[in-house]
Amino acid sequence: MDLVPDFEDRRPGEVATPYPTDAQVPGFRMACGAYFDVMTKLGRAVMRILAVAMGQPATFFDRALARPRAQLRLLRYPAAPPGMTEARLSCGAHTDYGGITILAVDSPGLQVLVPNRTATSNSTPDVVAHPTSRAHASIHGGTWMRVPVVPGTLVVNLADMIARYTNRNFHSTLHRVVHAGVNRDRFSIPFFFDMDAETVVRVLPQFMPGGELANPEVKEVYFPDPIVFGEHLMRQVESTFGAADKRDEATVAAS
Ligand SMILES: O=C(O)CCC(=O)C(=O)O
Ligand SMILES: [Fe+2]
């Protein structure tokens, strides 16, 4: 049995889960709205910092973020049933699709892959457990690192478009959730802060091999062609949710 999140605000092609009424859960909707607004402000600030880190003016993303694609998900991973000890994926290995994800978690479970650039005998075989990791053909395994829970902090994951702008000098973090053998629920709140779906994304010249910001070890041009973010999004959503049944078949050992 896999432990998958049992609530999120929407799945592709579906309308958002209706909010409970104020009589049912007083203040819930208002709190979600307030959190969304604060995260949008934070998202803009983080993207400005990221722009500077990418050698661009702080305003680099402003146009693409005039109408951001922002989504808040409220996830609950149910506690493992009594007696279940097997380690199974609660959320299969994947990368997020757009700009950044700002994540609040209440308990451990999130793991990120620290990739090897070149093949070694220690390569982790289950990196290919999820269809979207096809995008990671150049990553020859790596080590799953447990992300510590530090009260009062948020986790920021870089997503696919940042890897594209930087020719993978900045990674779009491959991550998964392992919440098994734990007898209490886990809650997490990812806020996906992405550019307008019409944004055209191409590798910045500074990150091309030999470019002034490029790691000399990165010799390959991973993304020769520009893409429209919305098209990437559609493809990834189809491959992720279309294959959801197969997604978590692989049993994983938490490293
Ligand atoms: O629950 C988590 O910690 C991560 C969730 C996640 O990666 C996602 O929803 O994309
Ligand atoms: Fe994610």
Residue 7 lies in a domain: no
Q: What is the distance in A from the centroid of ligand 2 to the CA of 23?
A: 32
Residue nearest to atom 9 of ligand 1 (CA): 190
CATH of the domain at 186: 2.60.120.330
Residue 18 lies in a domain: no
CB-ligand 1 contact for 103 (6 Å cutoff): yes
Nearest CA to 96 among 161, 37, 153?
A: 161
**Contact of 155 with 161, CB cutoff 8 Å:** no
pLDDT of residue 13: 54
pLDDT of residue 238: 80
CB-ligand 1 contact for 96 (6 Å cutoff): yes
pLDDT of residue 145: 92
Phi, psi for 191 (deg, rounded to 5): -120, 110
pLDDT of residue 230: 93
pLDDT of residue 246: 43
Q: Detail the DSSP E strand segments found in 79-226.
A: 91-94, 100-105, 110-115, 142-146, 155-158, 175-177, 186-194, 200-201
pLDDT of residue 5: 45
State the total domains in the chain: 1
Which ligand minimizes its atom distance to the CA of 7? 1
pLDDT along the chain (255 residues), means of 10: 41 64 93 94 98 97 94 88 66 91 95 71 40 42 90 96 96 87 89 96 97 92 95 84 46 35
pLDDT of residue 87: 58
Residue 193 lies in a domain: yes
Residue 4 lies in a domain: no
pLDDT of residue 14: 54
Residue 100 lies in a domain: yes
Residue 8 lies in a domain: no
Q: Distance of alpha carbon 156 from its chain centroid, rounded?
A: 9
Residue 29 lies in a domain: no
Residue 166 lies in a domain: yes
Residue 105 CA, closest ligand 1 atom number: 3
CA distance 17 to 242: 20
pLDDT of residue 22: 92
Which of 76, 94, 175 for a ligand 1 pocket mutation test, highest count of atoms within 8 Å of Cβ?
175
Domain that residue 178 falls in: 72-254
**Which amino acid is located at 129 in the chain?**
A
CB-ligand 1 contact for 110 (6 Å cutoff): yes
Residue nearest to atom 1 of ligand 1 (CA): 188
